[in-house]
Homo-oligomer: A and B are copies of this chain.
Amino acid sequence: MAHKAAFTAVKTVKAYERVVEQIESAISTRDLRPGDRLPSERELMLTFEVSRSTIREALRVLESTGLVRSRPGDPRGPEVLQASPAILTKTVNRLVRLETIALSELVEFRIMLEDAACTLAAEHRTEEELEAMRAAVDAMQAEIANGPVAFSRADVAFHSSVWAASHNQLMQICGEATRGALIDMVTGGLDRAPDSATKMELSLAHDREILAAISAGDGPTAGRLARSFVIEYYGDVISPEGRAVQGGVAGA
């Protein structure tokens, strides 16, 4: 060996991975926007100079990532999708199910989110958003008669309206993701539907309290209330020592 050259490691990059890489990067640079169409598989194999199998494998991973959707028979080609927290939910779910992430962590995270969202909502909400939240609470009231499932759906809608009022998309996204994951994990899909009318009334009362604080612009109170209600709600599913119960409540 003449030179002690600074060679760099050579990693075999699979062809389909490079296809994924390029398309993904085109999406993240906004060269491809939601609603746009990718060329057909047969065209892609020409531009990337690979076989259709390779193109298809790339499309499958893009599809599993939620970036793209292929529909058979559509001559316009695969569609670029709008990014959605749904995929996040699925991933979190899997991790919780595989016990890589403890349920208590999820609840902790949820507490923090709910606190922050309510705090911010109290400070940033517009009149329209306030109106939407009031309407959501009224809807909950109305849905009590229609049973726990309908009520839970209305409850979810209320919380969504709060997140929207927080004016923070990240919290909205994480909120959606954790809600989805918690629902699936805790009850297998029923959102811990309150089993009795009194429980529904209680939930409703809680939400009314929060709404009042948000309406009054009292961020700290809104946050504290949200925090304690989540703890109450999920108190029975967190770890025995009650890890998630602690954590900065600090309520004066």
Which residue numbers of A lie inside 8 Å of B, CB to CB?
16, 27-28, 53, 56-57, 60-61, 63-65, 82-85, 87-88, 91-92, 94-101, 105-106, 108-109, 112-113, 115-116, 119-120, 123-124, 167-171, 173-174, 178, 219-220, 223, 243, 246-248, 250, 252
Contact = CB atoms under 8 A, between A and B. Distances in A.
A250 B87 CA distance: 34
Contacts of A243: 124
A162 B84 CA distance: 30
Nearest to A52: B53
B168 A108 contact: yes
A220 B171 CA distance: 22
23 contacts: A16-B60, A53-B56, A61-B63, A65-B91, A85-B95, A85-B101, A87-B91, A88-B88, A91-B91, A99-B173, A101-B170, A105-B167, A105-B169, A106-B170, A108-B168, A109-B170, A109-B171, A174-B174, A219-B248, A219-B250, A220-B250, A223-B250, A252-B252
A98 B105 CA distance: 26
| Number of copies of this kind of chain in the complex | 2
A82 B94 CA distance: 12
B94 A65 contact: yes
Contacts of A16: 60
Contacts of A178: 170
Contacts of A219: 246-248, 250
A85 B83 CA distance: 20
A116 B115 CA distance: 11
B248 A173 contact: no
B247 A105 contact: no
